[in-house]
Amino acid sequence: MIVTKKRATTKPIRNALRDTAHSQTVISYFRTPQQEQTMDKKIILHIPHSSTNIPLSEGYLVDFITLEKEILKLTDWYTDDLFYSKDDEMIVAEFSRIFCDPERFTDDSQEVMAQYGMGVLYEKSDNGEEIRTVTPELKEKILKSYYWKHHHKFSQAVQNHLDFYGKAVIIDCHSYPSQPLKRDLDKNPKRPDFNIGTDSFHTTKELIDISVSFFEKAGYTLGIDWPYSGSIVPIEHYHKNKNVSTIMLEINRALYLNEPSNQKSENYNQVKQIVSEYIKAIKNSL
């Protein structure tokens, strides 16, 4: 299902933000015990693609400039800042997706992007150029020292939330270029402002409804499972534990960058504010 809507002027967005800010100030002064509990709820923000760090140069076939170009194209720029929330648990990958992609399956036979040389360890660029040779030994080394360490941290955070709150709520935080990448499965050039990704088992109807109404009120277009679908869940809970819920939020980079560069545009702070209000809306529903 896709929700498309003409973008409204920026005025209603600012008004909506102001109203929300005002009501929250009121709550902070007149909290009931129940509200206190709601405000203490924390969620997990999984941020896999914001880093530009390549910790090991082993196996790469191309020069630094070629790698930099690929990093510019594929990094979800500043998502660690756009989704920053001091009250929540942020699990941020400390390495670039060009080095190791935490959102891909380690088994190539399960990973749809492996056929393009872009499985868990990219061997080709988005254009299809060979960028790295990955031997089985190198794969094992990188998975052990980076991929599984990241996933262990993520799983541990989810387990802690289950132990403490009885449930865990994950937002999988990304951004995408306004024009499809060569290897994108969806090639439609008309892309929405924001995109939520859902999972049939772990994304509740309530999480979807809140997202649809939030972006509609804020005056932005929203794609549901378009152009990207799905959302991350630790494998041990995948389609087993309903107490783990997840939703992905992707931001169209045209909203906050002067594409194709990684320079922040003048709307950057406004987009950051919208994302922060969205996180609050999700938390208020818990």
Would you call 249 helix, strand, or coil by DSSP?
Answer: strand
C-alpha torsion sign, points 17, 45, 267, 187: negative
| Least distance from Zn ion to the Cβ atom of residue 49, Å | 4
List the one residue out of 267, 281, 283 whose CA is nearest residue 78: 267
| Least distance from Zn ion to the Cβ atom of residue 250, Å | 7
Read off the tokens for 227.
């152009």
Q: How many whole angstroms separate alpha carbon 74 and alpha carbon 68?
A: 10
Pure H helices in 4-50: 10-29, 33-40
Toward Zn ion, which CB reaches closer, 52 or 241? 52
Q: How many whole angstroms separate alpha carbon 1 and alpha carbon 79?
A: 26
Read off the tokens for 137.
């030994």
**According to CB under 5 A, which one of 42, 43, 45, 49 is a site residue for Zn ion?**
49
Contact map string, positions 215 to 244, toward Zn ion, x by CB under 5 A: ------------------------------
Please report, as residue ranges, which positions from 65 to 94 form the binding site for Zn ion (by CB under 5 A).
76
Toward Zn ion, which CB reaches closer, 49 or 150? 49
Number of residues that bind Zn ion (CB under 5 A): 3
Please report, as residue ranges, which positions from 115 to 144 form the binding site for Zn ion (by CB under 5 A).
none
Toward Zn ion, which CB reaches closer, 75 or 219? 75
Please report, as residue ranges, which positions from 154 to 213 form the binding site for Zn ion (by CB under 5 A).
174
Q: Interface residues with Zn ion (CB under 5 A)?
A: 49, 76, 174
